[in-house]
């Protein structure tokens, strides 16, 4: 029988929600790692029993946890994230040089083909890879050593590499996104990188051809179309049809084009989802109404999805890693809020139910589709 | 025999309950105690001192008995009362809200 497992990272621990294919009755396990910030929990597409979690605190630093039994038991694995060579400097908020310093792992991206290979996006921005299931980590240093690296500047959340998109059809190709540097693509497994930010326009960057400096919040791809990427930028929702060589805006009729999360329907590559958020400082939904917006046209034309979501007095945020989709026939959409709610739709967004309502602030949501 | 007190999160990571006992040959210092703990309990590496610089993590404090020795050099001898186990060496996560 089919089912889903929703992996939830929060400010104070991890939780696992599971349900059968109907996605109506949920069982919640956790907290795991209570008291620790869990920036991301995710599972291997190759071996769904293998999970990875990024666990950190300001007191005791970074831990990586791995489960080989679908989250029933966990063991700490490697936490030595050491930059290659002498890492040099990037720009600080005031424009002065600042040494590269490891702070935490924001995102873990397991390989599509090898259960022992997993990538880690970290702050200060760099990409690491483990080929032994998280025991040892090596930096793919060519990214940080990209000619623009010394000019990268942190966003409000730090200089973080928060998004890793692997090309399911070409193991050598991937994209990463860094706040606030932009998108970078490799076509040779990380040996070299190209900044792919043409077409992005950002307030505060007067040069429309600036190679880097854009605060990209999140990328999403449908696995059958790796040349089409969707982006939620600090402001603007964008898409590329040529693997990042050029981007165009698709914000259309959104009530605000600021936001963090973006995702693609599992079976409809032109159906995408965002959660518009009021900014620059509020970071809650406009008018106190929590609305997911769906475009069935690959952008530009958006409809508000509200059934089952609070439409008054709602002032939560939905963070960049806190939206996911399952691959059941009726595609399920999931997202978590900084108010501790996790919502699920079992009908592509037409209606929503609450999986769990009172967790700590949700940092990440991933879903595994189980057969 | 040195008695070491760890905060709850580190006891969980190390898989221990209560105090940890450390036996050392030679000078009993903060660095020697941390070396021993990290060699016996791998997940503690990087949690008390930075893996690259070796410096104490900013929100971690060390106490010898009731004395805060957080700023002492890692190779400085600790008091004999700690070295002989009459007083405890304690690792503390600094107080913070949230």
Which residue of chain B comes nearest to A37, CA vs CA? Answer: B98
Q: Per residue in A332-371, pLDDT tens?
A: 999 999 999 999 999 999 999 999 999 999 999 999 999 8
C-alpha pair distances (Å), A272 with each of A63, A338, A343: 33, 22, 17
CA distance A263 to A274: 7
- pLDDT given at position A280: 86
Q: Per residue in A274-304, pLDDT tens?
A: 999 999 899 999 999 999 999 999 999 999 9
Inter-chain residue contact A76 with B57, CB threshold 8 Å: no
C-alpha pair distances (Å), B2 with each of A12, B35, B77: 33, 13, 13
CA distance B47 to A71: 23
Strands in A37-43's sheet, in edge-to-edge order, are A37-43, A51-57, A61-67, A75-76
Which residue of chain B comes nearest to A77, CA vs CA? Answer: B43
| Option in B50, B51, B59 nearest A59 (CB) | B59
Do the beta carbons of residue A321 and residue A7 sit within 8 Å?
Answer: no
- pLDDT given at position A209: 87
Provide the 3-class DSSP secondary structure of residue A126: strand
Instruction: Give the percent of chain A with pLDDT over 90.
Output: 94
How many Cβ pairs closer than 8 A exist between chain A and B?
43
Which residue of chain B comes nearest to A33, CA vs CA? Answer: B9
Chain A residues near residue B59 by CB distance under 8 angstroms: 58-59
- pLDDT given at position B96: 67
CA distance A357 to A360: 9
What is the pLDDT averaged over residues A75-103? 95
Inter-chain residue contact A61 with B52, CB threshold 8 Å: no
Q: How far is CA A325 from the centre of its chain?
A: 12
What is the pLDDT averaged over residues B41-58? 95
Chain A residues near residue B46 by CB distance under 8 angstroms: 61-62, 79-80
Provide the 3-class DSSP secondary structure of residue A229: strand
Inter-chain residue contact B96 with A59, CB threshold 8 Å: yes
Tell me whether 0.85 is exceeded by the ipTM. Answer: yes
> Which residues, at least 6 apart from A281, have a Cβ–Cβ distance to it below 8 Å?
none
Which residue is it, tokens 């982006």? A231
| Option in B13, B46, B58 nearest A80 (CB) | B46
Chain B residues near residue A59 by CB distance under 8 angstroms: 7, 9, 57, 59-60, 93-94, 96
In the predicted model, is pLDDT for residue A1 greater than 70? Answer: no
Inter-chain residue contact A62 with B10, CB threshold 8 Å: no
DSSP string spanning A24-89? -S-EEEEEESTTSEEEEEEE-SS-TT-EEEEEEETTTEEEEEEESSTTSS-EE-------SS---E
What is the pLDDT averaged over residues A313-325? 98
| Option in A36, A59, A79 nearest B60 (CB) | A59
Do the beta carbons of residue A31 and residue A17 sit within 8 Å?
Answer: no
To which H or E segment does residue B93 belong? strand B88-93
Q: Per residue in A187-235, pLDDT tens?
A: 999 999 999 999 999 888 878 889 999 999 999 999 999 999 999 999 9
Question: How far off is chain A from B77, nearest CA to CA, in Å?
Answer: 24
What is the pLDDT averaged over residues A73-84? 96
The two three-digit tokens of residue A326, written as one number = 């399952």
- pLDDT given at position A107: 98
Chain B residues near residue A62 by CB distance under 8 angstroms: 46
- pLDDT given at position B87: 98
Chain A residues near residue B34 by CB distance under 8 angstroms: none
CA distance B70 to A283: 39
- pLDDT given at position B97: 58
What is the pLDDT averaged over residues A244-260? 98
> Which residues, at least 6 apart from A210, have a Cβ–Cβ distance to it below 8 Å?
A197, A202
Chain A residues near residue B60 by CB distance under 8 angstroms: 59-60
What is the pLDDT averaged over residues A311-315? 98
What is the pLDDT averaged over residues A10-24? 97
Bridge partners (DSSP) listed for residue A179: A160
Inter-chain residue contact B43 with A58, CB threshold 8 Å: no
> Which residues, at least 6 apart from A227, have a Cβ–Cβ distance to it below 8 Å?
A240, A241, A242, A243
Inter-chain residue contact B9 with A36, CB threshold 8 Å: yes
Give the residue among A169, A55, A181, A161 at the shortest CA–CA distance from A109. Answer: A161
CA distance B38 to A192: 36
Task: For chain B, list the domains and their CATH numbers.
Answer: 2-93 (3.10.20.30)
Do the beta carbons of residue A6 and residue A16 sit within 8 Å?
Answer: yes
In the predicted model, is pLDDT for residue B98 greater than 80? Answer: no
Provide the 3-class DSSP secondary structure of residue A107: strand
Please give the CATH architecture assigned to the domain spanning A3-370.
7 Propeller (2.130)
Chain B residues near residue A36 by CB distance under 8 angstroms: 9
In the predicted model, is pLDDT for residue A76 greater than 70? Answer: yes
> Which residues, at least 6 apart from A183, have a Cβ–Cβ distance to it below 8 Å?
A175, A176, A177, A195, A196, A197, A214, A216, A219, A231, A244
DSSP string spanning A103-119? -EEEEEEE-SS-TT-EE
**Sign of dihedral through CA atoms A44, A45, A46, A47?**
positive
Q: Per residue in A134-180, pLDDT tens?
A: 999 999 999 999 999 999 999 888 999 999 999 999 999 999 999 99
When the pLDDT of each residue in chain A is averaged and rounded to a whole number, the result is 96
| Option in B7, B43, B48 nearest A63 (CB) | B43
What is the pLDDT averaged over residues B26-53? 96
**Sign of dihedral through CA atoms A34, A260, A102, B96?**
negative
To which H or E segment does residue B14 belong? helix B8-14
How do the domains of chain A map onto residue ranges?
3-370
What is the pLDDT averaged over residues B85-95? 94
């Amino acid at each position: 029988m089919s089912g889903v497992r929703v992996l939830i990272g929060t400010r104070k621990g991890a939780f696992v929600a599971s349900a059968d294919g109907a996605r109506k009755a949920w069982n919640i396990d956790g907290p795991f790692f209570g008291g620790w910030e869990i920036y991301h929990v995710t599972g291997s597409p190759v071996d769904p029993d293998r999970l990875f979690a990024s666990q950190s605190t300001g007191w005791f630093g970074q831990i990586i946890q791995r489960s080989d039994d679908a989250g029933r038991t966990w063991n700490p694995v490697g936490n030595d994230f050491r930059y290659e060579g002498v890492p040099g400097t990037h720009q600080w908020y005031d424009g002065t040089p600042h040494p590269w310093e490891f702070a935490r792992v924001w995102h873990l991206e397991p390989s599509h083909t090898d259960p022992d290979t997993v990538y880690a996006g970290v702050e200060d921005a760099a990409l690491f890879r483990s080929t032994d299931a998280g025991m040892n980590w090596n930096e793919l240093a060519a990214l940080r050593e990209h000619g623009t690296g010394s000019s990268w500047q942190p966003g409000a959340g730090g200089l973080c590499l928060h998004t890793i998109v692997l090309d399911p059809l070409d193991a050598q190709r991937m994209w990463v996104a860094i706040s606030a540097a932009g998108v970078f693509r490799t076509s040779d497994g990380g040996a070299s990188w190209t900044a792919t930010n043409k077409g992005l326009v950002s307030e505060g960057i007067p040069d429309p051809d600036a190679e880097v400096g854009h605060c990209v919040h999140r990328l999403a791809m449908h696995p059958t179309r790796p040349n089409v990427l969707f982006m939620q930028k600090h402001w603007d929702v964008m898409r590329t049809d040529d693997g990042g060589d050029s981007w165009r805006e698709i914000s259309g009729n959104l009530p605000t084009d600021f936001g963090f999360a973006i995702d693609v329907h599992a079976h409809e590559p032109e159906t995408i989802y965002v959660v518009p958020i009021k900014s620059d400082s509020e970071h809650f939904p406009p008018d106190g109404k929590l609305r997911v917006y769906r475009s069935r046209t690959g952008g530009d034309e958006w409809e508000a999805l509200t059934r089952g979501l609070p439409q008054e007095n709602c002032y939560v945020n939905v963070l960049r890693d806190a939206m996911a989709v399952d691959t059941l026939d009726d595609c399920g959409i999931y997202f978590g809020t900084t108010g501790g709610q996790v919502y699920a739709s079992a009908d592509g967004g037409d209606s929503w139910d609450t999986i769990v309502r009172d967790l700590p602030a949700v940092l990440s949501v991933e879903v595994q589709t189980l057969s | 025999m040195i008695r070491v007190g760890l905060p709850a999160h580190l006891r969980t990571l190390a898989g221990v309950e209560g105090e940890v006992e450390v036996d050392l040959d030679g000078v009993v210092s903060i660095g020697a105690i941390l070396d021993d703990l990290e060699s016996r309990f791998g997940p503690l590496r990087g949690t008390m001192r930075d893996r690259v610089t070796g410096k104490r993590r900013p929100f971690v404090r060390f106490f010898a008995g009731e004395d805060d020795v957080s700023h002492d050099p890692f190779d400085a001898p600790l008091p004999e009362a700690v070295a002989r186990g009459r007083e405890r060496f304690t690792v503390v996560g600094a107080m913070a809200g949230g």
